[in-house]
Copies of this chain bind each other. A is one copy, B any other.
Amino acid sequence: MTTVLSQAEDREAGTRSVVDRALTILGTFQGNRSRQALSDISRHSGLPIATCYRIVQRLVEWGALERDGENRYRVGLRLWEVASRAPRSVGLQRLARPYLLDLYETTGYATHLAIREGVELVSIERFQNPRRVVRRPVIGSRYQLHVTAIGQVLLAHAPRDVQDAVLSAELPAYTPNTYTDPATLERVLADIRRTGYAVSDRQVDLSHISVAAPVRGADGSVIAALSLALTQRDTPVKSVVHLVQLTATSISRALLAAGFGDPGDGRASSV
């Protein structure tokens, strides 16, 4: 019996270590690291180069990674195809996209959709003037919650422990307008819950004002947020608040119709 248990434990440990190493290697492809030599992968994963080599070969053969002409590795097409089935990001993106595009075309202002993951914001979709120089936020990248209107909406509707974690950590200033005082931020979050929208006035940089509203899933909980960024100080913020709220509500309605965000995620698979 002891032997059987040990074998099971051994198998468990073996599975754990090899799968974890493969995932650790995939996880080194983040931020600006979209193209790495084997030595980069070894350094960023903390795994010996021989181990990296063995696992990378498997990942390349399957298509999770691809090798280019300079012996550098990059994330492969097949992994992207699998990831295109992710309902929380791609499913939401697909449902919300027409509404975001409508809002962008109607107003000409940059629109942005994001969800919360832990104490960070993950950018899901955005539309902005193709001629704009600044290409932020980067889709699939993470940002802090306290800085932008969209992040503040997500934080205002996050579970208490997430709010506490953000409020008790350092709140870095991006501009003199960024909320860096926890008590102030806490009051702002209460206002956002009461009014149903957030305004970030030059808190990310000194040229943008953004307005955000919550997007609700089929069960009524806030699962995403939508924002619109104005580029000129003289644009009346009030004139766009209702547009942002209306678009967020339309997306919520579409999510309800699709059963998206149900406890069991209803028909999210068909999205």
How far is it, in angstroms, between the C-alpha of A20 and the C-alpha of B29 when the chains are bound? 20
Whose C-beta in chain B lies nearest to the C-beta of A79? B83
Question: B30 touching A77 by the CB < 8 A rule?
Answer: no
Question: A263 touching B30 by the CB < 8 A rule?
Answer: no
User: Which B residues lie within 8 Å of A18 (CB)?
Assistant: 14-15, 18-19
Over the window 172-212 of chain A, the binary record of Cβ atoms lying under 8 Å from chain B Cβ atoms (1 yes, 0 no) is 00000000000000000000000000000000000000000
A99: interface (CB < 8 Å): yes
Considering only residues 42-97 of chain A, those with a C-beta below 8 Å from chain B are: 54-55, 58-59, 62, 64, 66, 68-70, 72, 74-91, 94, 97
Whose C-beta in chain B lies nearest to the C-beta of A269? B35
Instruction: Kindly list 11 other residue pairs between chains A and B, CB separation below 8 angstroms, not including A11-B54, A84-B139.
Output: A20-B62, A22-B22, A68-B265, A74-B86, A74-B87, A74-B268, A76-B88, A77-B88, A79-B83, A81-B141, A97-B130
A12: interface (CB < 8 Å): yes
How far is it, in angstroms, between the C-alpha of A18 and the C-alpha of B16 when the chains are bound? 9
Specify which of B86, B130, B271 is in contact with A75 (CB 8 Å cutoff).
Answer: B86
Count residues of chain A with CB under 8 A from any CB of chain B.
Answer: 73
Question: B77 touching A268 by the CB < 8 A rule?
Answer: no
| Contacts known (A15-B58, A23-B62); A32 close to B269, Cβ less than 8 A | yes
| Contacts known (A99-B130, A265-B35); A82 close to B19, Cβ less than 8 A | no
| Contacts known (A101-B130, A105-B105, A264-B69); A23 close to B84, Cβ less than 8 A | no
Question: A55 touching B265 by the CB < 8 A rule?
Answer: no
A-B complex: 6 closest residue pairs judged by Cβ atoms = A84-B140, A98-B130, A70-B264, A83-B83, A35-B269, A69-B263
User: Which B residues lie within 8 Å of A55 (CB)?
Assistant: 15, 19
Nearest Cβ on chain B to A62's Cβ, whole angstroms: 4
How far is it, in angstroms, between the C-alpha of A269 and the C-alpha of B30 when the chains are bound? 11
Question: B99 touching A34 by the CB < 8 A rule?
Answer: no
Question: A83 touching B85 by the CB < 8 A rule?
Answer: no
Question: A127 touching B140 by the CB < 8 A rule?
Answer: no
Nearest Cβ on chain B to A94's Cβ, whole angstroms: 8
Question: B82 touching A76 by the CB < 8 A rule?
Answer: no
Whose C-beta in chain B lies nearest to the C-beta of A69? B263
Whose C-beta in chain B lies nearest to the C-beta of A24? B62
Specify which of B15, B34, B72 is in contact with A91 (CB 8 Å cutoff).
Answer: B34
Nearest Cβ on chain B to A234's Cβ, whole angstroms: 25
A270: interface (CB < 8 Å): yes
A248: interface (CB < 8 Å): no
A229: interface (CB < 8 Å): no
